[in-house]
Structure 1
Amino acid sequence: MLEWHGVDLVLGERRVFADASLRLLPGERVGILGPSGAGKSSLLRLAAGLLKPSRGQVENGFRHPVLAFQEPRLLPWCRVAENLEIPLQASGLDRATARWMASHWLERVGLAGHERAWPHQLSGGMAQRVALARAFSIEPDLLLLDEPFSALDPALRESLLDLCRDWLASSGAALLCVSHHPAELIGLVERFALVNDGALQPFDLTGYAADQVATVLHQTLLALEAPAP
């Protein structure tokens, strides 16, 4: 379980979170929404242990969390397959198994035949797919995704969303996913939380029909991002 208790986060002179609380159970899937600059990515970094709270406590009982950043963050001196094989071997797999896993997941994201390519030879969308394949292949029990589908065209985005849903269903992993596009999270997450003005709050969708949820969430984000009168 991942749990926050009265978390404050101050970065420089900016208060990102004030007395924020969060609970994520094993296997639970939560979408994180909020306006640009609200602190959504900082939330994931706190969950991954890359940031420490200024006050309060973050308890992470998950043994194997993995964070996929919005930027692919591939190792430029390693070929595509090696970007998967290195963390797989670091997790304890032998070289042959790591190579097989890398090939398998690159095929799953539509990049079979690109194993020997260098990262600089990839388009932004291809590099993002490599990063997703790397995250899935490590088999985390908590997957933290920071706008992972932002660099993909609509058809490929939907294909990878289906892959992500299938992987979550088979792995039983928990998910925290940040997105600026609520519609892509429908069917991927079970509930939503809203980050705004230092607060982290559950988003109450009680009473809305399934086909209304994306519209309600989108309108809420537009309202939060609108300039003050």
Structure 2
Amino acid sequence: MPKILMVLTNQSRYGETGHATGLWLGEATEFVDIVSKAGFDIDYVSPKGGYVPIDPRSYKYATVRDLQIYNSSKFAQAALANSKHPDEIKADEYIAIYFAGGHGAMWDFTQNLKLHKIAANIYKNNGFVTSVCHGIAGILYIKDNNGKLLVAGKKVTGFTGMEEFLSGKKYIVPFLNEKIAKQQQANFKKARAYKAFVVQDGHLITGQNPFSVRLVAEKLVKNLLGA
């Protein structure tokens, strides 16, 4: 069965500040839980490869199942300690790519052309490009072979400006995902702050916030299995 590629951040700080960030744990582990139960294997990649930091705040919201996956040797080694470098990835081996969030993604997802090319090729091969929360930063600048932005004219969602304000991070993040999505001519959709919400537009599936991970994973699985 074709594999799914999960993209994780290497960024451990909010820019030059001393504030810790990284991957939001549940945005990886909840996705793993759903798609692995459906029979799909997952590979993990990050912009630099290697170590993936966890946003310390995300442990507070981790479920027992999240921690079981987090503590499993397979996830700890393949995702958090030894994630693959983009140069190691062959897009034709994957049926979908998933950009997990955490504020760190806003620093190292946006301009990583190697990751963008991988995602564009998966999409071109009739695969799915998916994201949740701040993971949308990974798809906002993807261009197809004709130089057209992937999100232009497409319905998408991600962490909103209001959610950024409520998180207390609006003035230390480098940009607002909602604002950039609209600048890129995406049709940005949203529910109320911190409500689980997912949008699908063809082979593009996006979730609004950390509470939307399972919706994204379930929708992807349903599409892949033709249910």
- Bigger radius of gyration, 1 or 2? 1
Q: Which has the higher contact order (CA 8 A, sep 6+)?
A: 1
TM-score by shorter chain over 0.5: no
Task: Provide TM-score, normalisation by structure 2.
Answer: 0.31
More strand by share: 1
